[in-house]
Structure 1
Amino acid sequence: MSTATQQNAGARAPIGDLTAPGAILLVSCYELGHQPLNLAFPLAYLTQAGYSPVAVDTAVEPLDDAAIAAARVVAISVPMHTALRLGTQVARRVRQINPDAVIGFYGLYAWLNADYLLREHGDFVIGGEYERPLLDFVRALAAGSDEPVEGVSTRDYRVPPSLARIDFPMPERASLPAMKRYAHLMIDGTAIPAGYTETTRGCHHTCLHCPVVPIYRGRFFAIPREVVLEDIRRQVRQGAGHITFGDPDFLNGPTHALRICRAMHAEFPHVTFDMTTRIEHILKHRDLIPEFAQLGCVFVVSAVESVSEMVLDRIDKGHTKADVVEALRILESAGIAMRPSLLPFTPWTTMEDYLELLRFVEEYDLIDNIDPVHFSIRLLVPPGSALLDRPETKEWLGPLDEAAFTYTWRSPDPRLDALQQEVARIAEAGEAAGQDYEETFAQIKAAAYAAAGLEVPPPVRRDTGVRRRPPRLSESWFC
């Protein structure tokens, strides 16, 4: 009888020695092109407790059959939709090669899709603060305990995600693939290896479409400054000349963020960084922006999402089109580029909204600031989404497509559904061909105006003849 069958029967036999090298296998599939912190933290937690886990990042290295066959517990990191799609493929392969392995998923999208994952692919899921629950579950498996573990849902029982603050260990990166195999900062014709860390978990805000919200519900935790700084120090020793602060919002705790940046700059004045923060926070903390620039900030990712007031209101984004314009001005005055992320296709988007977005991008000279894939992004509504709590959602929501990890929906304007598919095709083809962003944008613009039945207006000409590409990471990213 397999381990999974034993769990379904309600009796768990001791799984044996999980301290043996490779008995625990941690897998990451996609984490936006950076060395996975979602491997480094659990690696540290498990290693400190006497285990010898093996970690594999399938984005840059193969997962061989021998590692799968040797594992008794396989935990797959799924912090986002793309990672989950790839992660279920890994789980399927693990089940074929090693049917007795206990397979689980951890991260935001694990808990959101728990019912489907536990029925079709895995034996456990962990959401929220995952390190302590994972360790406790490993210990329970080793002891053969059937008792529920805080933060861990199985086929036998469901529990809420754990939001208990953990003791953050120093991330364990020594066994992970080399820094040079991940995204680089592209700036002034130079490629600089980019490291990655986080200063907080969760988010203070509750945007309705965000996958962080159903888990953290407005809470966030600061990671100790000494842990963050030592993690940066170790990555710089490995060759990083740039650091991505990947917090859901770096300015949730602005004082914490500023102290870390000051300390990093004092020790490594040559190291640059980027951060993600809300338009609202750029405006609120405008007095801090010049100092962040002096400390090495070269670009800011901000979830602009749309310039339609209707769309921004429906997702409770907390900013307006005018706020975006002001945020651009604040960043530009400090010498920092904005890299907007977009959500152009929603149930409320009109054709005019999409054309307005394209005009806005041209008017404010943002073509080179936006990865073309962002012009194709379609609203995901995963199980547990805060959008499901809104009564008006039933007006447009379709059935749940469990295997796609989202509820379905269609635009009231069929032209927009067709346009979304065409823009996705254009963006993918442009990325594969290494096409210039301006050329890809021109093709997207032509497709949009054709869908609207309108003549394509001429491109907006820049005031200057010099085209200076803004800093960016070498890998286009999407959730």
Structure 2
Amino acid sequence: MRMSKKGAIRLLERAKQKALWKRIRDTSFGYWFRSAVLWMLRIPETAALRDLLLEGREPILKMQYPGENTSRYSVLLLQLPLPANRRHKRIIPLGIAYIASYLLKEMPEVNVGVLDAQCQSLTYHQVVKAIARDKWDIVGFSYWTVQAQFAENLSHAIRSMSPQTIIVHGGVHPTLQPEDALKSADYCIRFEGEQSFVELVQALSKGNPVKDIAGVAYKEDGKVIANPPRPLLKNIDQLPFPAYHLLPIEEYNMPLHVVGGERMPIVGSRGCPYECSFCASPILWQKKVRFRSARNIIDEMKMVIDRYGIKKFHFWDDNFTLNPRYVEEVCRLIVEEKLGIQWVCLDRAEHVNRNRDLLPLMREAGCIGVEIGLESANPDTFIHIHKNQAIGASREAIKNLRAAGLKPLYTCMAFNPGETIVGYYLQKEFLDCAQEGYQWFDYFHPFPYPLYIGQFATAYPGTRFYEEIDDLCLQLIEDAEDRYHHRINSIPYSLLNDIPMRTVQRLNEEHYFIFLDAVRTGFWTAFPGNSSQEELATKLYDVWRFLFPFFKKCDGSLTVRQIALHLSEYLNIPLTKSLRLTAYAVYIFAQLGLIRSAIYYTDYPIKEKDVRVPPARKREILHYLSIVRITRKNLLSDVRRR
């Protein structure tokens, strides 16, 4: 069967217009339909149908007053794309939506526009072209460190084509590194941004000075001037609901954990009282927590249900049950007003345990699961990341969630300071225990089988981890885009100095498939979702070529660092690539029980885990390998020979 790319796009557009895809995308039929279309078009499985729909389409840029840029003071807010953007979920830019809504509340005469380049997977040139279509008095964007270079390049382009446009940067990176952002920005908004940004727009629109606006940084005579931080809002109910009408809501893909279906984010509180060293929250929110009223939250939920027909929510509060009274009021209102919603939330294990009596009420109110910040199962790691929480608390939280009929979800990281080989085996044992007895959690795990990869530990500028990292980890940072939690950007010395030892004599075919699948799933920048099949084949071949010599060197005599050095020379690959592959192989094979540490926890019983890659994923891997003339017969003979 043949189908042109344009024909497929038209077909999918028609289905989308009839809301057909929204009904089927989370079903088994939707999965197979997607796979069939991608196969017919020779497009990698990691590609998204939404990317096909967006290709060749004009970028969506919504405005409060379309076509009135020349007659009104106009402000454009941008969400920037991420590296390997097509691999990333399309997440609603809640911060930008709040800024836009507060600006419209305080200055309703201003024409506010929003361009979400991350959601639409726009390239640099597409973003520049979209901005150039209209006249803007101010262009502002919020970003992380990983997007800093994109922000700088875009700022220079805007200044070149529209010198009168004022450029404002905000978000985590400009807050923590204003001197870096002001290399290309006219102004920075630091910390909580709504009031500071509105006051800046008011001043600039009237030609007034900005020296007395709290939370603003700028340059004067070449020197960075950072005005005092603005006191945090005492009553966050005063903020209007996010300006979702300026976002392309139908383009986001955020299926709710476990059950699927489109979800909307909701923030009932701001801030976190803890000091985890990897997190910017202690700096951004000053370890203070403020709560919205239950009525305000319920009114926002009802607005979303009425306007968009979405009845699934994800609470983005850092610690949902930190304030039991708040939780009880929210849940009772959901029940009393019969909203009929489903939702998940984030929490800390000790809060779940302390407030376990609230869990049945949460379930009655539609909660289906709680994400616990596990981070690591290695006992030594918690000391280094200043989590101040033992693994025992997480085990108790899982028990309490199960007893209440709630799914125990979790977030975890890899390559934290203090981690050793056995920690990854312990992590899999822990997560297997959390999953035990449940159908596999769809829309949550990156794999359709029991192998786990979390975010990669990342030292963001300004955090405590960033200050301590040189003593704890080997950094693999070459530019800003490496400082990203989907790219291995540092490896702890505790792991580099550990000594891997095989627990089985040789790898079998299944082990090869697992690692090849794990690399293409976990290495986002190497497998960004828009590579040609030939590029994918070449990269998988490199991984296949790496695997045997790596496992052969796991004989209990060499450290992880020494193995990486040897493989760099033996395979003639850059040392940073060898370090990343070696560390990741240790991470995966330790989970499977195929290697163990020769120096740590040597008495701990390690058993090989029975994990199998689904046949469809194997066929896809073999298809790519066949492009570089590696067949299943070659693979099997290679495994037996070695």
- 1:433-474 deviation digits (Å, cap 9, x = unpaired): 9xxxxxxx999744765675899713289xxxxxxxxxxxxx
2:354 equivalent to 1:284: yes
Q: Give the equivalent residue in structure 2 for 1:45.
A: 102
Aligned match of 1:471: none
1:24-66 deviation line (CA, Å, top 9, x unaligned): 1011236963433212211111112132210122233454624
Q: Which has the higher contact order (CA 8 A, sep 6+)?
A: 1
Aligned to 1:438: none
Say if 1:192 and 1:241, in contact at 8 Å, map to a contact too.
Answer: no
Counterpart-to-counterpart distance in 2, 1:281 and 1:340: 14
Partner in structure 1 of residue 629 of structure 2: none
- Asked if 1:74 is matched to 2:134, the reply is no
2:409 is the counterpart of 1:339: yes
Deviation of 1:197 (Å): 1.2
Secondary structure of 1:109's aligned partner: helix
Q: CA deviation at 1:100?
A: 4.1
Q: How many residues are aligned here?
A: 432
Q: Deviations over 1:299-340 (max 9, x none)?
A: 112210011121112212132111111111111111111221
Report the Cα distance in structure 2 between the residues aligned to 1:385 and 1:227, rounded to whole angstroms.
Answer: 32
Paired with 2:414 and 2:472, the residues of 1 have a C-alpha distance of 20
Alignment correspondent of 2:169? 105
Q: Which amino acid aligns with 2:270?
A: R
Q: CA 1:376–1:221 in 2, change beyond 3 Å: closer, same or farther? A: closer
CA distance in 2, matches of 1:416, 1:176: 48
Q: Is the 8 A contact 1:362 1:460 kept in 2?
A: no
Within the candidate set 371, 390, 412, 2:445 is matched to 371
Q: Residues 133 and 151 of structure 1 are in contact (CA less than 8 Å); yes or no, is this contact kept in structure 2?
A: yes
Residue of structure 1 in register with 2:248 after alignment: 177
Helix, strand or coil for the counterpart of 2:356? coil
Q: Matches of 2:319 and 2:588 in 1, distance apart?
A: 31
Q: Is the 8 A contact 1:21 1:53 kept in 2?
A: no
Question: What SS is found at the alignment partner of 2:345?
Answer: strand
Residues 115-171 of structure 1, C-alpha deviations (whole Å, 9 max, x = no match)? 22222x422222321000001111222214252421011234123543331631233
Letter in 2 for 1:243: F
Moved more, 353-362 or 308-317: 353-362
1:82 is displaced (CA, Å) by 5.5
Contact 2:217/2:226 (CA < 8 Å) preserved in 1? yes
1:136 to 178, 199, 205: 199
Q: Note if 1:56 corresponds to 2:115.
A: yes
Measure, in 1, the Cα distance between the counterparts of 2:333 and 2:250. 22
The answer as to 2:90 corresponding to 1:29 is: no
- What is the CA distance between 1:274 and its match in structure 2? 0.9
Alignment CA distance shift 1:376-1:253 (3 Å) = closer
Q: Per-residue deviation at 1:404?
A: 4.4
Mapped to 2, the partners of 1:164 and 1:376 lie a distance apart of 32
- SS of the residue aligned with 1:153? strand
State how far apart, in whole Å, the 2-side matches of 1:343 and 1:35 are.
23
Query: Take 1:263 and 1:85, find their aligned partners in 2: how far apart are those partners?
Result: 45
Answer yes or no: is 1:411 the counterpart of 2:474: no
Q: Cα distance 1:401–1:383, how it changes in 2: closer, same or farther (>3 A)?
A: farther
Q: Residue 163 of structure 1 aligns to a residue in which SS?
A: coil
Q: Relative to 1, partners in 2 of residues 1:204 and 1:381: Cα closer, same or farther, differing over 3 Å?
A: same
**Structure 1 segment 414-429 matched on structure 2, within 5 A:** 414=496, 425-428=520-523
Match status 1:458 vs 2:616: no
Could you tell which deviates more after superposition, 130-139 or 446-455?
Answer: 446-455
**Alpha-carbon offset, residue 257 of structure 1:** 3.0
**Greater Cα offset, 299-308 or 29-38:** 29-38
Offset, 1:67:
3.2
- Please give the TM-score of this superposition, normalised by the length of structure 2: 0.59
**Which one has a bigger Cα radius of gyration?**
2
Q: 1:394 to 1:457 in 2, by over 3 A?
A: closer
- The code of the aligned residue for 2:462 comes to G
Looking at structure 2, the residues matched to 197 and 87 of structure 1 have their Cα atoms a distance apart, in angstroms, of 27
Q: Indicate yes or no: 2:454 matched with 1:384.
A: no
Q: Give the superposition deviation at 1:268.
A: 4.1
What residue number does 1:235 align with?
A: 304
CA distance change for structure 1 residues 365 and 416 in 2, over 3 Å: closer, same or farther?
farther
Q: Per the alignment, do residues 36 and 263 of structure 1 end up closer, same or farther by CA in structure 2, a change over 3 Å counting?
A: farther
1:81·1:405 contact (CA, 8 Å) conserved in 2?
no
Question: Structure 2: which 5+ runs fail to align?
Answer: 1-67, 82-87, 501-514, 531-583, 599-605, 613-642
- On the 8 A contact 1:193/1:242 being kept in 2, the answer is yes
CA distance in 1 between partners of 2:80 and 2:446 (Å): 22
Distance 2:166 2:231 in 1: 24
Asked whether the 8 Å contact 1:128–1:163 carries over to 2, the reply is: no
- Which residue of the partner structure matches residue 310 of structure 1? 380
Structure 1 residues 88 and 452: CA distance shift in structure 2, 3 A: farther
Mark the CA change 1:401 to 1:122 in structure 2 (over 3 Å): closer, same or farther. Answer: farther
In structure 1, the partner of 2:190 is: 127
SS in structure 2 of the partner of residue 375 of structure 1: coil
1:405 CA drift (Å) = 7.9
Amino acid at match of 2:194: E
